[in-house]
Structures are given as structure tokens and as C-alpha cells.
Structure 1
């Protein structure tokens, strides 16, 4: 299966459909069943102690899987998360961007399963691991 949306098309889709958060995410690379997305962290993404909040890390993982799916199936705005599990393993570095490395493990007609490793910029070990399942609307 080949890509149905390019990196630029995904970025344009995000701006058109989710303008309220599109500026938070930068798509760095997209390929078959994989994507890398950066969250440019700002003060509003932090929790007490100066680290990136859990909800912010969830958002990055969720958006990454969503975009990886759309890259493969085309612009279907109504694909929705049906399950998510996150393991928070390390405290992200203060002030560093977060980078999501996502790969799709299964892409079926109705369901997709993705895995995401979240990294704090400049740190080799992941700060979190997420597994998400999406429901894909009929084409």
C-alpha cells in the first residue's frame, strides 16, 4: 500500500481540520506505515516541576497515529481513537521538544493499531510508549 497523503498534505489537513492545535505539531518525516512528529513545547505544555504534562504527551501520540493512518488511507477526518495505553517511563528534559516516532502495526478496513515512542529532544532513551487503536470510518 502506498502513501495517499504527503507530508505537506498532512500539514495542510491539520491546519484546515484542527486549527486550534495545528501549530503545536511539526511533521518531520512520513513513510509507509510510519511518521515522525515534533511537538514544539511551550510554557502551556508544562506541568509543575517544568516537565511536559501527560495530556500533552497523549496529544502528541494521538496526533501521530492519526496522521500516520491518514497518510495511508487519505483524508478521513472522522477516524477516531477507540483505545489508548501509555507508559510514562522517564521525565522529559525541561524545555526540550518532544519527538514521536510512530509506526502502524495493523491497518485494516475498520481498525488500525499504532505504536508510538516519545523522545525528549537530545535524549536517546524514550520518555513514553503508547499503543493506540483507531476506528476507521467507511470510505
Structure 2
């Protein structure tokens, strides 16, 4: 199945429906099956000790899943996370962006399942892994 929205169209839509996260994330690549995104790490994303916090890592994984799902289904702002399981594996590298590599495992009429690996920019070692399920709103 081809993309319903391009990388730029998804980015524009994300700015429209979630202006509160504008400037936090960037979509580096988007295809029918994969997304590469980054958290543009700022001080507000850090925890004591200077590394990216767990909630910021969760946000990146969730937004990456949202982006790949929207890329496939189009402008459906009410696609929502129904489940997320995240494993935090190691401390992110301080002072660099966090990268999400997401892949869509299944896209049905009502649900999408996405797997996301997070790593610090410049490092291949995974800092977290998330499995997310999204509910897709029905066409009306």
C-alpha cells in the first residue's frame, strides 16, 4: 500500500493538530513501512543527570507510531494510542538528539501495530524499545 501522506504533509498535519509539540520532533524519513524521527533534545526533555527522560522517550516513540500510521491512513487526527509497552534498556547519550526507528507490523481497518526502537544519535545501541497499538477511527 502506498503512502496516503508524504513526510512533509504529515509534518504539516502534526503542526496543525498538535501545535504543543512543534519544535520537539522532526521526521527524517517516512516510507510505507518505516519512519525515522528524532527528538530535538532540549533542556526541558532532560532528567537529573542530564539525560533524556523516560516521558520524553515515550513521547518520541508514540509520535513516531502516530506519524507512520497517519502516513498510511491519511489525515485522521483521532487515531489514538490504545496500548503501549516500552522497555528502557540503557541511559541515552547526553547532549545529542534521540532517534526513533519505527516500523509498521500490521495495519488493519481498526488497529495498527507499530514497533519502535530508540537510540542516541551517533550510537547504534538501543536505549528503549516500544510496541504500540493504535485505534483507527472509522470512515464516516
TM-score (normalised: structure 1): 0.98
* 1:19-69 superposed Cα distances (whole Å, 9 cap, x missing partner): 110210100000012110111100000001111000000000000000100
Pairs aligned (count): 139
Partner of 1:111: 111
What is the CA distance between 1:76 and its match in structure 2? 0.2
Hey, what does 2:86 align to over in structure 1? 86
Match of 1:113, SS state, is strand
Deviant stretches of 4+, over 4 Å:
none
**1:97 counterpart residue number:** 97
SS at match of 1:131: strand
> RMSD across aligned C-alpha pairs, in angstroms?
0.6
Flag structure 2 segments of 5+ consecutive residues without an equivalent. Answer: none
1:19-98 residue pairs with structure 2 within 5 A? Answer: 19-98=19-98
Q: TM-score, normalised by structure 2?
A: 0.98
